[in-house]
Structure 1
Amino acid sequence: MVPVSFVKVEGLGNDFILLDRRARSRAELDEEVSWAQAHAARLCDRRTGIGADGILLVGPGLAGGVASMIVVNFDGSRPEMCGNGLRCVAAFVAAQLPTSGPTREATVVIDTDAGPRRCQVSEADDGAITVSVEMGAAKLLGTQAPRAGVGREFVGVSLGNPHAVCFVGDDEDPETLARALGPAVERDPAYQPDKTNVEFARVSAPQAIELWVWERGVGITEACGTGACATAVAAARAGRVACDLPVAVALPGGTLLITVPSDPAAEVVMRGPCRQVFAGVFADPSPSSSS
């Protein structure tokens, strides 16, 4: 068996197995992606594997970035973007940049399947890492009432990946709805062939949203960065929250601050924490793998 080095990282409990593949060629990276897709369920299993929501492959920069990020979900699918994963990758890469002296700030551009993303990495006195990410301009995709939503309306939003956002009443529980309706809405014919992430949200106070997300290819997660952005965008465009001011989006794992610009063509900004949990080595039975 071949030993494979990894780093376990997380952002608000949305956790990943990070594999540093920056020394690989593009062809080798493509092979690594196929390998990760084949083994994701085994590696991410929380009882018999390392345990994670997905795998982050950090490759060489492809479009001017210092590195690239490829995400593989628990089920082996490849989403276009992952906000929490991106913060983790940015912090990982920034920590290894050469510096001329002590610094607690770094700016890195990470290439993703949704395009390059500029990330500002900050380290506090206690070592806590916070990353602000320019997530790109959001696109509203219209409102639909999928059959699986049992009469509810969902606002379509794209942050490079698809989201269907449903705002619930004050007397309804977003978690219950996400667990009950999320799986079917994800796969509803209205969202084929790519399926969709599904958000159930409630505006709980001015500039504050409570959110539960059923992630495409994963299920319920502790946090979803692009889901928080999509929900804040849907709320802002409907006048539920204000533009150009941070919106506190409370997820099961913690809170992200999302700023939606009044200009629809401008970048949505996400700010939140991330950390490295531990590093390790696992034994891979595939003879073609390397550490």
Structure 2
Amino acid sequence: MINLFYVHGSENHFYLLDQTLLTSELNDNELINLTKTITNKSNDLNPADGLLVINNSKHKDALAQMRVINADGSEASMCGNGLRCVARYLSNKYHKDSFKVETKSADLLVNKHKDLANNVAAFSVEISPVYFDSKYFPFENLNTTSILNTALPQLSDHLRFTAIAVPNPHLISFVENDHDLNETLGEIGKKLNEPNPYFTDGVNVNFAKILSRNKLFVHTYERGVGFTNACGTGMSATSLAFAINFPNLVDTKEQIDVYNPGGMVQTKVHNTPNNQWIELIGNATFVGKISISEKKLHSATVDNINFTDTGEETDYQKFVGSIK
């Protein structure tokens, strides 16, 4: 029997599978089928946004490889919330507090962080590389090669946008009212993740409200998922956009508090020339696990499965209550 762990970063939920423990690894089609099955809201499992897959890495400096399969079967370039959960799993497995994890685009440094609260484990993870060029999105028919605090009348008659890839693509807008933060975000996010002439590969859309100096609230419509409680790379990209577009409201020597529907993370923007990256700090909560046979994994069969609760979610919710 193999454990599928049910985990989350800021209530961005995943199932985590360590393929290195399997006799026979799942192929890509099997991973997609498994992900679609376990994220299907009609089954009896806890809801999730995707599957985190741990493989052996062939990279010299990486402890392991992480893959992220979205609910629709697409593969994400990176996932900051998921990486924190993978980091915690690998830290416990190999008894290491600092190491690199291979992701689709880069080997990223992760570090064990002090607990956010009682029984609320936390990790910091590197979010990089950073790109602004349209070749990393791409965005088409917008009559520009970069989007930096830019009005895009094709998308909105009153909002301005910034596009940053970290390395998965994010479109960011800073808004002032809750209607834009929710309804407008949903309209634009849905539009840009269906067939459209502007972001032909789709894009993660993040709307943010500036709360005060070094403090934000971010809501995300995630490519391949839809509305999420939190998106780690989205909060990281939005933090960088915050520092670039509103330098009078950001002290990059200090951490930025980033609130989201699922809780809060902290970011640290490193915005030096030719070396832009973001440090993302937040919870890595293991809610529970299910035990499943390899045969059922390969066939994506998830009926008659028992869930074992760790109790960590209760402590996480106490933490969330304390910061509201």
| TM-score bucket (shorter structure) | 0.7 to 0.9
Stretches of structure 2 lacking an aligned partner (at least 5 in a row) = 134-145, 302-324
2:289 is the counterpart of 1:279: yes
1:32 counterpart letter in structure 2: N
Question: What is aligned with 1:109?
Answer: 100
Q: Is the Cα contact below 8 Å between 1:157 and 1:163 reproduced in 2?
A: yes
2:219 is the counterpart of 1:243: no
Residue 123 of structure 1: how far off its partner (Å): 5.1
2:226 is the counterpart of 1:219: yes
Residue 114 of structure 1: how far off its partner (Å): 1.9
1:86-114 CA-partner distances (Å, limit 9, x unpaired): 00000001011247xxxxxx112110002
2:128 is the counterpart of 1:136: yes
1:109-164 CA-partner distances (Å, limit 9, x unpaired): 11000211111113548432111112124223421627344563321001110000
Q: Distance in 1 between matches of 2:63 and 2:203?
A: 29
CA change 1:79–1:171 in 2 (3 A) is closer
Q: Distance in 1 between matches of 2:164 and 2:107?
A: 19
Stretches of structure 1 lacking an aligned partner (at least 5 in a row) = 100-105
2:283 counterpart letter in structure 1: P
Q: Distance in 2 between matches of 1:179 and 1:282?
A: 36
Which of these residues, 36, 43, 58, is aligned with residue 62 of structure 1? Answer: 58
Residue 175 of structure 1: how far off its partner (Å): 2.1
- Larger deviation, residues 255-264 vs 79-88: 255-264
Name the TM-score, length of structure 1 as normaliser: 0.86
Instruction: Provide the secondary structure at the position in 2 that maps to 1:191.
Output: coil
Question: What is aligned with 2:70?
Answer: 73
Question: What is aligned with 1:48?
Answer: 43
CA change 1:98–1:198 in 2 (3 A) is closer
Matches within 5 A, 1:108-257: 108-122=99-113, 124=115, 126-141=118-133, 142-143=146-147, 145=152, 147-149=154-156, 152-170=159-177, 172-187=179-194, 188-192=196-200, 194-238=201-245, 239=247, 240-257=249-266
Q: Distance in 2 between matches of 1:180 and 1:110?
A: 35
CA change 1:183–1:282 in 2 (3 A) is farther
Q: Distance in 2 between matches of 1:233 and 1:287?
A: 40
Residue 275 of structure 1: how far off its partner (Å): 1.1
Residue 179 of structure 1: how far off its partner (Å): 2.2
CA change 1:150–1:181 in 2 (3 A) is farther
Name the TM-score, length of structure 2 as normaliser: 0.78
Question: What is aligned with 1:13?
Answer: 11
Q: Distance in 1 between matches of 2:35 and 2:218?
A: 27
Residue 81 of structure 1: how far off its partner (Å): 0.3
1:18 counterpart letter in structure 2: L
Instruction: Provide the secondary structure at the position in 2 that maps to 1:232.
Output: helix
Percent identity for Structure 1 against Structure 2: 26
2:33 is the counterpart of 1:35: no
Residue 167 of structure 1: how far off its partner (Å): 1.1
Q: Distance in 1 between matches of 2:225 and 2:170?
A: 14
**What is the number of equivalent residue pairs in this alignment?**
279
